[in-house]
Amino acid sequence: MPNVIPAGADLNDPLYYLSNARTLINWVRERHGDLLTQTELYRLDCFDSLPEQAQALLIRMVMRRGELFRSDQLQYAELSAPLPLLRLLADAGFVLLDPALTVEELASLLCKSELWQVCHRLNPDAPPSKQSRKHDLVTWITQTDHGARTLEDWLPDAGFDAVSLEVSPLMQRLQLMFFGNLHQDWSAFVVTELGHQLYEPVPLDSASRAFHQRSDVDLYLALHTLQQRLEQGEPLNDILTELPACGSTPWLENRRRKLMFALGQAFERAGQLSQARTLYAQNPHREARIRQLRLMERMDLPEATFEAASASLEAIQQPEARLRIHRIRVRSARKAGISIEPPRQPVISTHRLSLPLEANESVEQAVIAHLATQGIQAFHVENRLFTGLFALLYWPAIFAPVPGAFFHPFQAGPADLYRPEFQASRQALIDACTAQLETGGYRATILARLAQKQNIRCHLIHWPSLTEERVNACLTLVPAEHLKQVFLHMMKDLRYHRRGLPDLICFDWQARRYQLIEVKGPGDRLQDHQRLWLECFQAQGIPASVYQIQHEQTE
DNA sequence: CCGCGGTGGG
DNA sequence: TTCACACAGTCCT
DNA sequence: GACTGTGTGTCTCCCACCGCGGGA
Ligand SMILES: [Mn+2]
Ligand SMILES: [Mn+2]
Residue A454 alpha carbon to ligand 2 centre in Å: 28
The whole-number average pLDDT for the span A263-278 is: 93
Q: What is the spatial distance between Cα A292 and Cα A306, in angstroms, rounded to a whole number? A: 12
**Rounded distance from Cα A47 to ligand 1 centre (Å):** 52
What is the reported pLDDT for A1?
39
Q: How confident is the model at residue A357 (pLDDT cuts 50, 70, 90)?
A: confident
What pLDDT does A200 receive?
Answer: 96
CA to C1' distance (Å), from A11 to B10: 8
| Complex ipTM more than 0.90, yes or no | yes
Question: What is the band of A555 on the pLDDT scale with cuts at 50, 70, 90?
Answer: very low
Q: Which nt has its C1' nearest the CA of A74?
A: B8
DSSP string, A405-422: T--STT-SS-TTTTSGGG
Over residues A471-509, the pLDDT tens digits come to 999 999 999 999 999 999 999 999 999 999 999 999 999
pLDDT at site A360: 80
Mean pLDDT in chain A?
Answer: 94
Look at residue A289 and tell me whether its pLDDT is greater than 50. Answer: yes
| pLDDT tens profile A217-234 | 999 999 999 999 998 889
Amino acid A395: pLDDT: 98
Nearest DNA or RNA nucleotide to A16 (CA to C1'):
B10
The reply to whether A197 Cβ lies less than 7 angstroms from strand D is yes
Q: What is the DSSP string of A374-413?
A: TT-EEEE-TTHHHHHHHHHHTHHHHT---TTT--STT-SS
Q: Which nucleotide is nearest to A362 (CA to C1')?
A: C6
Which residues are within 5 Å of ligand 1 (an ion), measured at CB? A 503
Domains, chain A? 16-179 (no CATH), 209-336 (1.25.40), 350-551 (no CATH)
Asked whether the predicted pLDDT for residue A371 surpasses 90, the reply is yes
Local confidence band at A246 (pLDDT 50, 70, 90 cut-offs)? confident
Check if residue A322 sits with its Cβ under 7 angstroms from strand D: no
Nearest protein residue to nucleotide D1, judged by CA and C1' positions: A525
Calculate mean pLDDT across residues A235-264: 93
pLDDT of residue A341: 83
Strands (E), A276-372: 350-355
How far apart (Å, rounded) are the C-alpha atoms in residues A257 and A280?
Answer: 9
Asked whether the predicted pLDDT for residue A554 surpasses 70, the reply is no
State the amino acid at position A48 in one-letter form: D
**What pLDDT score does A6 carry?**
62
Confidence of residue A7 (pLDDT cuts 50, 70, 90): low
Query: With 90 as the cut, is the pLDDT of residue A444 above it?
Result: yes
Q: For residue A520, report the distance from its CA to the centre of ligand 1, in Å.
A: 8
Neighbours of A466 (CB within 10 A): 20
pLDDT confidence bin for A3, thresholds 50/70/90? very low
Name all protein residues with C-beta less than 7 A from any atom of nucleic acid chain C: A 183, 363, 382-383, 495, 498-501, 503, 518-521, 523-524, 527, 529-530
> Which residue has its C-alpha nearest to nucleotide C2's C1'?
A183
What separation in Å is there between the alpha carbon of A478 and the centre of ligand 1?
21
A 10 A CB-CB count for A507 gives 21
For the CA of A201 and the C1' of C3, the distance in angstroms is 27
- CA A405/CA A247 separation, integer angstroms: 19
Tell me the pLDDT band of A5, cut-offs 50, 70 and 90: low
A285 CA to D5 C1' in angstroms comes to 22
pLDDT tens across A39-51, in order? 999 999 999 999 9
Percent of chain A past pLDDT 90, that is, above it, reads 89
Maximum alpha-carbon separation in chain A:
87
> For residue A126, is pLDDT > 60?
yes
A264 in Cβ contact with A283 (< 8 Å): yes
Give the distance, in angstroms, between residue A246 CA and nucleotide D5 C1'. Answer: 31
- Asked if the Cβ of residue A70 lies within 7 A of any atom of strand B, the reply is no
Report which of residues A296 and A2 the model is more confident about.
A296
The band of A344, judged by pLDDT with boundaries at 50, 70 and 90, is: confident
pLDDT of residue A8: 75
Q: State yes or no: pLDDT of A154 exceeds 60.
A: yes
Taking residue A420's Cβ as centre, other Cβ atoms within 10 Å add up to 11
Model confidence at A2: pLDDT above 50: no
Render A70-97 in DSSP notation, one character per residue.
EGGG---TTS--HHHHHHHHHHTTSEEE
What does the pLDDT read at residue A35?
97
